[in-house]
Amino acid sequence: MTERKKHGVTFESFVDKQIREAQEQGAFENLEGAGKPIPKGTGPHDELWWIKGYLKRENLSTDALLPESLQLRKEIEKLPAVLIDMRLEESVRSHLHDLNARVVAWIRVPSPPLIPISPVDVDAWVEQWRVNRAAVDAAARASRASSPGSSAAPTTRPGWWQRLRARCAR
C-alpha cells in the first residue's frame, strides 16, 4: 500500500480504489495458479492442506510446529546422532552449551506443556562423544585398509591442513 487513506473517505471505497488501480496497472496478471482451483489435500485432515504445502515448499520439519518444551526434549533425544557427525570437540561443546542455554531460558519462562527438562551434562556428553567418535574413526580406518586396491600405509604425507585438523581434533 503506497498511499494512506484520506480523512473523510470511507474505508470500503479506499480499498476498492486500490484494487481498481492495481488491476489497471496489471498487477494481477500472470499470477501463479491463475484460473486453477485451489489445491485440496486428500488425507483425513484436509483443513491442514495449506500448512502441509507450506512446510513442503519451504523444506521445513514438522518439529517447528511443536511447543518449545517438546522441541527441546526431541533435540535432547537426538543428541547422539547429531554429535556423532561432529568432528571437533569444540563444535560438540558449543552445540551442547547452546542447547543448555535454550533449556535454561525455557525453565526461566516455561510455556505449556510443562514437561520436565533439565540441562545436559556437557562433560558426560563430550566423553561419550569421544568414545563414539573413536569407534567410528577406527571403523572407517579399518574399512579403508581392507578395501581392495588400497595399501595399509599411505603413499603420500598428509597436507598441512590435514595435519592441523588432526591436531585440533585431539
Task: Determine, yes or no, domain membership for 119.
Answer: yes
pLDDT digits (tens, 9 = 90+) for 9-47: 676 677 888 898 999 999 888 888 778 877 666 666 667
Task: Determine, yes or no, domain membership for 99.
Answer: yes
- Show the domain range for 102: 66-143
Would you state the torsion angle of the CA atoms of residues 50, 24, 1, 9, taken in this order, to the nearest 10 degrees? -120
Taking the C-alpha atoms of residue 100 and residue 124, their distance in angstroms, rounded to an integer, is 14
Number of domains in the chain: 1
Task: Determine, yes or no, domain membership for 50.
Answer: no
CB-CB contact of 99 with 124 (8 Å) = no
pLDDT digits (tens, 9 = 90+) for 109-156: 998 999 999 999 999 999 999 999 999 888 888 888 776 655 555 556
CB-CB contact of 98 with 131 (8 Å) = no
Task: Determine, yes or no, domain membership for 49.
Answer: no
Task: Determine, yes or no, domain membership for 37.
Answer: no
pLDDT value for 86: 92
Closest CA to 84 of 74, 95, 94, 92: 92
Task: Determine, yes or no, domain membership for 53.
Answer: no
**Most confident region among 30-39, 49-58, 78-87, 91-100 by mean pLDDT:** 91-100
Note the pTM of the prediction, 2 decimals. Answer: 0.57
Q: What angle do CA 65, 70, 74 make, to 5 degrees?
A: 100
Task: Determine, yes or no, domain membership for 42.
Answer: no
Task: Determine, yes or no, domain membership for 8.
Answer: no
